[in-house]
Amino acid sequence: MSVLTAKNISVVFGGLKAVEDFSIEISEGELVGLIGPNGAGKTTVFNLLTGVYQPTTGSITLNGQDVTGKKPEQIVSIGAARTFQNIRLFKQMTVLDNVLVADNGSRTYSVASALLRTTKYWKEEKAAREKAMALLSVFGMESLADATAENLPYGKQRKLEIARALATNPTLLLLDEPAAGMNPTETTELMETIALIREKFKVAVLLIEHDMSLVTGICERVIVLNFGNILAQGTPQEVTSNPEVITAYLGE
Ligand SMILES: Nc1ncnc2c1ncn2[C@@H]1O[C@H](COP(=O)(O)OP(=O)(O)OP(=O)(O)O)[C@@H](O)[C@H]1O
Ligand SMILES: [Mg+2]
């Protein structure tokens, strides 16, 4: 089944067609790469798919629902979660709290219940904590639960951002340059983590990444964007041997 279908979406910024007639279909559990030069429109595609920008043309369907024109928080609740090119964590909060705030949806107790600390409150709070700790353990970060987010090394902040995105129970995870600023060891580790969470959480992944070893290592399919348009798509082997892709991007 298709998790995401976007058809001919476009957006214009001050006369510049940042993304033009972009179409994509992602199946359940698929891992797709989105690559291309700086300014090609990759992050803008994410912003369109997640409701940050409204497309001026086209339509977006997520898990069978038309989400064209929907707000970011609605799109999250329908199953798409993302991370950002520039890490956005609640810096002063603990690692555990960063994950807990994302998982608001699974707690149903009322404000009164929370204030009175009812049984329902404690039950749901305990379950949410257990779930958040289980998520952190997938990333080998349970022992850091009480650490302040901003004190984590860079690679771990990136992982925490992914954990927080997963806390919303997405069927589609959008990762914007998760390996940016990581050293080779951290990148390899991240690659394994992405492969693992895809299996474990049955989540489809759309991955923006400049690190080609990461892209070719884990993506089944790659889309190449250039000047807001799709230049090529296919298997990693197909796109990396495509002369147009080499000229526009890889040969740089
Ligand atoms: N909010 C905005 N207002 C005006 N122009 C924008 C806006 N967002 C993006 N752009 C422009 O749209 C184009 C695509 O930008 P985008 O950030 O999507 O590129 P990218 O492929 O993610 O690049 P990078 O690899 O550097 O992250 C660029 O020319 C950028 O300057
Ligand atoms: Mg970008």
- CB-based contacts of 167: which residues, under 8 Å, 6+ apart? 99, 100, 102, 103, 131, 132, 135
Instruction: Report the atom number in ligand 1 closest to the C-alpha of 44.
Output: 18
Instruction: Report the atom number in ligand 1 closest to the C-alpha of 85.
Output: 27
pLDDT at 5: 98
pLDDT at 38: 96
pLDDT at 68: 97
Q: Report the C-alpha gap between 227 and 231 in whole angstroms.
A: 9
Of all protein residues, the one whose alpha carbon is nearest to atom 12 of ligand 1 is: 18
Q: Report pLDDT digits (tens) over 59-117.
A: 999 999 999 999 999 999 999 999 999 889 999 999 999 999 887 666 667 777 777 77
Given a cut of 70, the residues of the chain with pLDDT beneath it are: 104-108, 252
- List domains and CATH numbers for the chain: 2-250 (3.40.50.300)
pLDDT at 10: 97
Verify whether ligand 1 is closer than 6 Å to residue 48 (CB atom).
Answer: no
